[in-house]
Structure 1
């Protein structure tokens, strides 16, 4: 099997750096896209002494120039996996929505890209999740009202990835894994190695280290697709991922999937 080449958008984020370290330690190569050239050396140092290689590309995602710009980055990086971690509290529609959707479209139209992982959050949905309690629903309403632009931007991107993956499958394209990993509020605490992956509460906490480990576990398999909400929990990470896949867990349940599929028609 060829060495995985992973393009990470938003490569300077703490979560991205943790992902990068885990990937290169497994002999994966990482191309990290960052905005600030001054951070290049810091990102490159992650690869020191590791089995995989780290490369850096400079691109301000707020100035991407749409799908054409995303396609140019893909041509430079030649990845088979794309991970979108970037986010902006200041300009969520430019980064969380528009830039991510541009990379989603470019990736699903590039047969060499087989996996796309988008970092979202559990509140990114249009309606009450069928498994939520009344308290969960109220927490979702509060979070949605508190961060309306981020909620809208992430939701539109989550849905678009589903629609594009479905369109690629319908036209007979190569196998493609569309993964939305949806961690709740992130902490810098030491990773516990234990999580709850799948249908859970609306709001909680999870460590960045554990999110990075779950992302790698999802990307290491060929049968992971869908929306995965992620919280701190009691399950070992590999066990949590295996259980979610085995039980066909998808947190898109309760959303209007037919409407979502029409977004890419």
Structure 2
């Protein structure tokens, strides 16, 4: 399987790249900063320099052409303002979907965020509220498309070691989840075509990831 990951130098993306490469998949990561190329190579991924805030649909389509799936794991990141939540967390996700359609890549996994299913609560920090609105808009755009999409909305991300056990459902109680387990869940979703069309929330839990994915697909 060939997988192209937007935001290839992100913490979840690097973990996913390692997992996919370790089992023999072909992985490419789209990165804005060429200085990050070595980290992707160390993870077993092919670095592809592509600034999603400046690239054309044709350019991105060329990078994803021939892929079996694309994963949107990009984000403006901590310290960025509200404007970049719009240009990265929303617009870049839309650009990747446009490019996937152009290139004939049907499978699209979106790394979204818990809380993107409702307006930000009153009193929410302005930048975080902009982030949630951008994620909600990107999710809504993807859901309208004729693609085999899956939207994963993790809770609060931590760098704790993964346990391989999660709670995964259309709606779960808010909580934290290790980035290791987010990456492992993304890989399990990639391996499960029946997860297409699902919007799922993810936090740490007691169910092995493979069982959790099987359960949500069986319950649809």
Same fold per superposition (TM over 0.5) = yes
- 1:32-55 CA distances to partner (integer Å, 9 max, x unpaired)? 1111111111211222xxxxxx31
2:93 to 85, 97, 100: 100
| 2-structure distance, mates of 1:235, 1:42 | 32
- 1:27-79 CA distances to partner (integer Å, 9 max, x unpaired)? 110011111111111211222xxxxxx311111222223x334223324xx31
Corresponding position: 1:122 with 2:114: yes
| 1-structure distance, mates of 2:73, 2:22 | 20
SS at match of 2:53: helix
SS at match of 1:206: strand
SS at match of 1:181: strand
Corresponding position: 1:246 with 2:215: no
RMSD of aligned residue pairs (Cα, Å): 1.7
Q: Rg bigger for which structure?
A: 1
**1:71 alignment partner in structure 2:** 61
**2:12 alignment partner in structure 1:** 15
**1:230 alignment partner in structure 2:** 202
| 2-structure distance, mates of 1:143, 1:223 | 38
**Cα distance change of structure 1 residues 149 and 222 upon mapping to structure 2, 3 Å threshold:** same
| 2-structure distance, mates of 1:56, 1:204 | 33
Structure 2 unaligned runs (5+)?
none
**2:31 alignment partner in structure 1:** 34
Corresponding position: 1:194 with 2:174: no
Corresponding position: 1:57 with 2:45: no
**Cα distance change of structure 1 residues 195 and 80 upon mapping to structure 2, 3 Å threshold:** same
| 2-structure distance, mates of 1:142, 1:121 | 18
1:160 to 106, 119, 141: 141
Q: How many corresponding residue pairs?
A: 212
Task: Please say if residues 144 and 151 of structure 1, whose CA atoms lie closer than 8 Å, have aligned partners that are also in contact.
Answer: no
Tell me the TM-score normalized by structure 1.
0.75
SS at match of 2:151: strand
- 1:193-251 CA distances to partner (integer Å, 9 max, x unpaired)? 110001212x3100000001100000011211221100111111111000011011xxx
| 1-structure distance, mates of 2:60, 2:42 | 25
Q: Give runs of aligned pairs for residues 166-177 of structure 1, distance below 5 A.
A: 176-177=147-148
Tell me the TM-score normalized by structure 2.
0.90
